[in-house]
Amino acid sequence: MLIFKIPKVTSTQDLAEAMHSHLFCDYVVVAEEQTNARGRYRRAWYSPKGGLWLTYVKIKFNLESIGMSTFKVGLAVRDALSKYVNSEIRWPNDVVVNDKKISGILLEGISNQSNSLFIGIGVNTNVKSFPQDIYGTSVYLETNKEINNDELLTEIITLIDKYLNIDDNETIELLNKYSSIKDRQVKITTKDNEVKVCNSMFIDKYGRLVTDCGIFEVEDILRLETQ
């Protein structure tokens, strides 16, 4: 597989999307640092040197499955990190340790002859500190040890390919098993900026979050926080 390593880039996602019309196989773009990384709803993502910032591009992908694929990629990243930390999934697309975000995932697709899937992943591996307004953690802060980003990259790519091939029922079972919000109170901000405090119950077979306030699609949620 082609792996492009860049010292500094605005966003691996943007660069990978700019490159895709020139390549005809799966590839990975990795950066030591990002200056304008983005998450859901184009939120900024803090990406200093030390972390693992990448976009994995898969061509000829069924883009209709992008929603469930987001969960599968999250499970793959959680699995890769579990050898270092007690990682869990915060629905829909974060990996957390003790409610602190350690990884974020963004899947996007370009529908054309190749139907390309862009899997953007940020992992706080060897990040030593965070701005005060970011409630995050890193492998280093949790273990006081640095890890090899190249080894973790290889593990994540291998596990993504594995998890993308599991069926949707198993995906939901694993999401509920490793959920950080199951049977907990959460504050939900909807995309209409309505704030609700709910008791999270489980993720249903469609990937929706079931709470005592109602059932929420991923697209309904602007932000979800644990209480």
pLDDT tens track for 10-19: 999 999 999 9
- For the record, the structure tokens of 97 come out as 């340790």
Contact in structure between 75 and 175 (CB atoms under 8 Å)? yes
Residue 46, pLDDT > 60, answer: yes
pLDDT tens-digit series, residues 75-98: 999 999 999 999 999 999 999 999
Domain ranges of the chain: 2-177, 185-226
Q: Report CA 201 to chain centroid distance, whole Å.
A: 22
Cα 125 from Cα 139, distance rounded (Å): 5
The dihedral region occupied by 135, where left means phi > 0, alpha psi between -120 and 50, and beta the remainder, is: beta
161 vs 76: CA distance, rounded Å = 9
User: Which residue in this structure is represented by tokens 């080894």?
Assistant: 151
- Residue for token pair 């959920």: 179
3.40.50.410, 3.40.50.620, 3.40.50.2300, 3.30.930.10: which CATH number matches 2-177? 3.30.930.10
Is the separation of the CB atoms in 42 and 68 below 8 Å?
Answer: no
pLDDT for res 42: 60
Residue pair 28/62 in contact (Cβ under 8 Å)? The answer is: no
**Cβ-based neighbours of 167, under 8 Å, separated by 6 or more:** none
Q: Residue 98: left (phi > 0), alpha (psi -120 to 50), or beta?
A: left
What pLDDT score does 48 carry?
95
Query: With contact defined as beta carbons under 8 Å apart, do 109 and 115 qualify?
Result: yes
Segment 110-149, tens digit of pLDDT: 988 789 999 999 999 999 999 998 999 999 999 999 999 9
The residue written with tokens 């983005």 in the block is: 38
Identity of the residue numbered 195: V
| Helical ranges in 83-216 per DSSP H | 139-143, 149-163, 168-177
CB of 105 closer than 8 Å to CB of 71: no
Beta strand extents in 39-150 (DSSP E only): 52-58, 88-90, 94-97, 100-110, 116-123
- CA pair distance 37, 13, nearest whole angstrom: 8
pLDDT in tens, 141-188: 999 999 999 999 999 999 999 999 999 999 999 999 999 999 999 999
| Residue-level pLDDT at 216 | 97
